[in-house]
Structure 1
Amino acid sequence: MTDTTSGEHKGLLDSLTTLASTLVAVTHTRLDLLSNDLEEDREHVMAILVSTLITLFCLGVGVVLASILLVVLCWNTHPFLVLGALAGSFLLAGMVALAFLMHKVKTKPRMFATSLSELSKDRQELVNRL
């Protein structure tokens, strides 16, 4: 009788050890996935930031030079009309850019979407097994 109890105890201990090992492996995998999500998001944000700064700098210099050129070309005829038209077009372009930026901020994909979907699959799998 002690052999059967000892065998059952050992089997239960092995099952618990296997369960703990599986849980640690699943947790490790999910944390690794979360880490990858964070790294990808950081790289994406940095690439967008650098591209945005370079674009804004180049466009800003180009706009200033083009504005100066237009004002100098029209200095004798209608300088105030040209300055007003340029100011209006810059304000309109700025408002369009602001609207686009606000749209992008509002429609940003959910952070950790991949990790959350995998955790949801894990939870569903556990519910199905029970």
Structure 2
Amino acid sequence: MSTTPGYRGSLFSALKNLAATLLASGRTRLELLGNELEEEKLRAFQLFLLALGLAFCLSIGLLMLVLFLTVAFWESRVLILGISCAAFLGASIWLAFGLKRAVQRPRRMFDASLSELEEDLRQLKAAIGQHDAPAE
């Protein structure tokens, strides 16, 4: 009878250790997920600012180029403006299709968190397999 309380104590202690380990692992994974979410937010904002700056500078540069060509070749101004308009509309259509393709492309978010959880699951299965093997 004296072994039963000791056995219960060690079982309870093992369960406490298991719960503490699971909570610590969960906390670590949540912190990693939060870090990845913050990084993705900053990356998206940086990409937005870069794209906005690029679009602004490119549009001003192209407008100035069309004005320059129109003034330089004043006799052919209608032809230059027509060709420029067609080129801009063509580029807009091409970019719209590229944007649509980029939005539809699936991207796996939280790769690091998922790989860490897969590794945890693999280790947990290995640990369960090790504990089951000696009992048989």
Q: Does TM, normalized by the shorter one, top 0.5?
A: yes
**Matching residue of 2:15:** 16
- Counterpart of 2:110 in structure 1: which amino acid? F
State the shift of 1:85 in Å. 0.6
Q: Deviations over 1:29-52 (max 9, x none)?
A: 110110111011111101100101
Percent identical residues: 36
Gaps (5+ residues) in structure 2?
A: 129-136
Once superposed, what is the RMSD of the aligned Cα atoms? Answer: 1.6
- Counterpart of 1:125 in structure 2: which amino acid? Q
Q: Tell whether 2:95 aligns with 1:128.
A: no
1:61-72 matched pairs, under 5 angstroms: 61-72=60-71
Q: Secondary structure at the match of 1:109?
A: coil
State the shift of 1:72 in Å. 1.8
Runs of 4 or more above 6 Å deviation: none
Tell me which moved more, 41-50 or 96-105.
Answer: 96-105
- Counterpart of 1:128 in structure 2: which amino acid? A
Gaps (5+ residues) in structure 1?
A: none
- Counterpart of 1:15 in structure 2: which amino acid? A
- Counterpart of 2:37 in structure 1: which amino acid? L
Task: Pick 1 or 2: higher relative contact order, CA cutoff 8 A, min separation 6.
Answer: 1
C-alpha separation in 2, matches of 1:98 and 1:45: 19
Q: Secondary structure at the match of 2:109?
A: coil
C-alpha separation in 2, matches of 1:9 and 1:129: 22
Q: Deviations over 1:46-77 (max 9, x none)?
A: 110010111111111111111111112222x2
TM-score by length of 1: 0.88
**Matching residue of 1:106:** 104
C-alpha separation in 2, matches of 1:95 and 1:20: 57
TM-score by length of 2: 0.85
C-alpha separation in 2, matches of 1:4 and 1:127: 30
C-alpha separation in 1, matches of 2:19 and 2:12: 10
**Matching residue of 1:43:** 42
Task: Identify if the C-alpha distance between structure 1 residues 13 and 120 changes in structure 2 by more than 3 Å, giving closer, same or farther.
Answer: same
C-alpha separation in 2, matches of 1:114 and 1:101: 27
**Matching residue of 1:32:** 31
Give the number of equivalent residue pairs: 128
Q: Secondary structure at the match of 2:14?
A: helix
